[in-house]
């Protein structure tokens, strides 16, 4: 059959396609994001990889949802409680999980550990497109993992990988990485937009038709997003991001999409010589080096998915040498910091127009919970006045534009976490006062606005 080649241009950020090159994508407005895509129009391109059993069931009529049973598809637990939490309670059969992260962060290490554990009771195939089987074995020996029952295959051809899958019939499959796998029926280089999209689509069909749980590793761009078209994240069932700083041994596994569990769930690991180790009490990690009797530091109670977490907010204010003062934030959204500075200046009378303000979330974690607003505001006020905050105080509350302290969710879980780590006074929104049930051994201080809170914290009226 003659093969016809079609050439078009596709945005590597959002997947927008055009028949001609455009300097700026009309959908996502990114510059220089259009890449040339050459596709072969052939029947082999759309190989469905359906099993014989699945093909025989294509003629079955559509059934009602109430008649479909899920009792025979229990989740499979791994030896990592943190990963089980992030996945929503274990690995779902037939699911497609995408794991992204910076180079060297520990993606392959995590999946090799999980594969080694699952291989003790199930058939697991680990496909490496970046390492030889010997290199995988050396890494497993260094981590002291029991890999006696783990199938390892070094291959990048998707058709050959599928033949091995049909032969072994594994229950779990790991692809490291999706950017190295290619479909030989496409006239595109491995890692291109078309190859990544088509290979992911074929792997999704394999997962659903053969009921195999598949983990695929995805490279990230310099902006920190997974390389390839944005629709890649829409195709898979779960998207996990592995985060961490170069000079910290702690790693954070974050779920940004999960069809089988809560989104924005968080798992904490520590990278050690033998691999990644679960950190079951992350609040203690973030608080063990907290500032004591120093200005500009507060403790806030936040929620990451279903997990309460205590983190330290550090702030520094210095006189500016420029006409426009600087606002720098690390681990906190920049626009949130600007908003809180405006509220603190307008409603509490703090003259921050001539001050550079720097705010950092200690420990390298990123926070988008609005309940940390009050703690950030108090930290900035503490640094501005050069007055330390009581080290046994914890702050929970969202700050509105008029200076009021607004209600937050799951107040009992946050308070209980603070109590467990020895805090004595908890500042909460006044509207949460009646919903608090944990008071023994704690001084719960409900506050209505930021002036009320500042007065109680620093024991003076501004």
- Render 45-72 in DSSP notation, one character per residue: GG-----HHHHHTTTSPP--GGG---TT
- Over 70: is that where the pLDDT of 112 sits? yes
Would you tell me the crossing angle of helices 158-168 and 193-210 to the nearest 10 degrees?
10
Residues 424-447: b if buried by 16+ CB within 10 A, e if exposed: ebbbbbbbbeeeeebeeebeebbb
Contact between 297 and 389 (Cβ < 8 Å): yes
The chain-wide mean pLDDT, for the chain, equals 86
Q: With pLDDT > 70 as the criterion, what percentage of the chain qualifies?
A: 90
Distance in angstroms (rounded) separating the CA atoms of residues 194 and 179: 11
Pick the more confident residue, 450 or 101: 450
Instruction: Tell me the per-residue pLDDT of 120-142, one tens digit each, with 9 for 90 and over.
Output: 999 999 999 999 999 999 999 88
Question: Is residue 12 within a helix (H) or strand (E), and if so which, with residue range?
Answer: none
Taking residues 293-301, report their average pLDDT. Answer: 91
Distance in angstroms (rounded) separating the CA atoms of residues 236 and 200: 8
- Over 70: is that where the pLDDT of 307 sits? yes
Report the pLDDT value the prediction gives residue 54, as an integer from 0 to 100.
52
- Over 90: is that where the pLDDT of 343 sits? yes
Taking residues 254-274, report their average pLDDT. Answer: 86
Report the pLDDT value the prediction gives residue 279, as an integer from 0 to 100.
86
Contact between 115 and 124 (Cβ < 8 Å): yes
Report the pLDDT value the prediction gives residue 330, as an integer from 0 to 100.
92
Backbone angles phi, psi at 375, to 5 degrees: -65, -40
Would you tell me the crossing angle of helices 373-385 and 450-458 to the nearest 10 degrees?
50
Taking residues 394-414, report their average pLDDT. Answer: 94
Backbone angles phi, psi at 116, to 5 degrees: -60, -40
The percent helix, strand, coil of the chain (3-state, each to 5) is 30, 30, 40
First to last CA, the chain: 82
- Over 90: is that where the pLDDT of 47 sits? no
Contact between 389 and 407 (Cβ < 8 Å): no
Report the pLDDT value the prediction gives residue 65, as an integer from 0 to 100.
79
Integer angstrom CA distances of residue 165 from 175, 209, 288: 12, 12, 47
- Over 90: is that where the pLDDT of 238 sits? yes
Report the pLDDT value the prediction gives residue 425, as an integer from 0 to 100.
93
One DSSP character per residue, 131-174 reads: S-HHHHHHHHHHTT---TT-EEEE--BHHHHHHHHHHH--SEEE
Report the pLDDT value the prediction gives residue 245, as an integer from 0 to 100.
67
Integer angstrom CA distances of residue 202 from 59, 181, 244, 256, 427: 22, 11, 31, 23, 52
Distance in angstroms (rounded) separating the CA atoms of residues 111 and 115: 6
Distance in angstroms (rounded) separating the CA atoms of residues 210 and 306: 32
Read off the pTM: 0.77
- Over 90: is that where the pLDDT of 232 sits? no
Cβ atoms within 10 A of the Cβ of 228, count?
A: 27
Report the pLDDT value the prediction gives residue 9, as an integer from 0 to 100.
86
Give me the sign of the Cα torsion angle 151, 156, 161, 162: positive
Distance in angstroms (rounded) separating the CA atoms of residues 415 and 284: 15
One DSSP character per residue, 278-309 reads: E-S-HHHHHHTT---S-BTEEEEEEEETTEEE
Contact between 232 and 98 (Cβ < 8 Å): yes
Copy the structure tokens of residue 201: 């689509």
Of the candidates 442, 459, 345, 340, the one whose C-alpha atom is nearest the C-alpha of residue 398 is: 340
Report the pLDDT value the prediction gives residue 115, as an integer from 0 to 100.
94
Q: With pLDDT > 90 as the criterion, what percentage of the chain qualifies?
A: 52
What is the side-by-side strand order in the sheet with 425-429?
327-330, 355-361, 307-319, 297-304, 393-395, 425-429, 443-447
One DSSP character per residue, 371-413 reads: GGHHHHHHHHHHHHHT-BPPTTEEE--EEPTTSBEEP-S-HHH
> Cβ contacts of residue 403 below 8 Å, gap of 6+?
343, 346, 347, 348, 449, 450, 451
């Amino acid at each position: 059959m003659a093969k016809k080649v079609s050439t078009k241009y596709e945005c590597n950020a959002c997947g927008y396609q055009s028949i001609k090159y455009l300097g700026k994508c009309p959908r996502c407005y990114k510059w220089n994001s259009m890449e040339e895509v050459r596709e072969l129009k052939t029947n082999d391109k759309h190989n469905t990889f359906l099993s014989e059993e699945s093909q025989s069931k294509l003629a079955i009529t559509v059934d009602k949802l109430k008649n479909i049973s899920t009792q025979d598809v229990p989740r499979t637990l791994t030896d990592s409680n943190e990963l089980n939490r992030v996945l929503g309670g274990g690995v779902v059969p037939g699911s497609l999980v995408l794991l992204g992260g910076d180079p060297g962060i520990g993606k392959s290490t995590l999946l090799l550990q999980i594969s080694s554990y699952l291989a003790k009771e199930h058939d697991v195939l680990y496909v490496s497109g970046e390492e030889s089987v010997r290199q995988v074995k050396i890494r497993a020996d260094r981590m002291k993992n029991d890999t006696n029952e783990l199938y390892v295959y070094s291959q990048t051809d998707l058709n050959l990988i599928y033949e091995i899958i049909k032969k072994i019939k594994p229950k779990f499959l790991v692809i490291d990485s999706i950017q190295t796998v290619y479909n030989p029926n496409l006239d595109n280089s491995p890692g291109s937009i078309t190859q990544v999209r088509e290979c992911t689509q074929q792997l999704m069909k394999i997962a659903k038709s053969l009921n195999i749980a598949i983990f695929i590793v995805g490279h990230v761009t310099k902006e920190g997003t997974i390389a390839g078209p944005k629709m890649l994240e829409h195709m898979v069932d779960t998207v996990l991001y592995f985060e961490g700083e170069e000079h910290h041994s702690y790693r954070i596994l974050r779920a940004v999409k999960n069809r089988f569990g809560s989104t924005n769930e968080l798992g904490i690991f520590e990278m050690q010589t033998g691999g990644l180790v679960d950190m079951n009490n992350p609040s203690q990690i973030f608080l063990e080096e907290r500032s004591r009797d120093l200005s500009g530091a507060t403790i806030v109670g936040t929620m990451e998915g279903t997990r309460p977490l205590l983190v330290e907010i550090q702030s520094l204010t210095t006189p500016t040498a420029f006409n426009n003062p600087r606002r720098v934030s690390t681990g906190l959204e920049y626009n949130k910091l600007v908003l809180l500075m405006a509220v603190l200046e307008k409603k509490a009378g703090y003259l921050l127009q001539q001050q550079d303000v720097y705010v950092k979330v200690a420990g390298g974690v990123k926070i988008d919970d609005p309940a940390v607003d009050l703690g950030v505001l108090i930290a900035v006020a503490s640094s501005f006045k050069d007055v330390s905050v009581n080290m046994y105080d914890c702050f929970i509350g969202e700050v509105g534009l008029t200076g009021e302290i607004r209600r937050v969710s799951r107040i009992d879980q946050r308070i209980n976490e603070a109590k467990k780590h020895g805090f004595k006074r908890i500042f909460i929104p006044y509207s949460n006062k009646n919903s608090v049930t944990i008071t023994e051994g704690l001084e719960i201080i409900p506050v209505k606005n930021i002036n009320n809170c500042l007065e109680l914290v620093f024991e003076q009226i501004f």
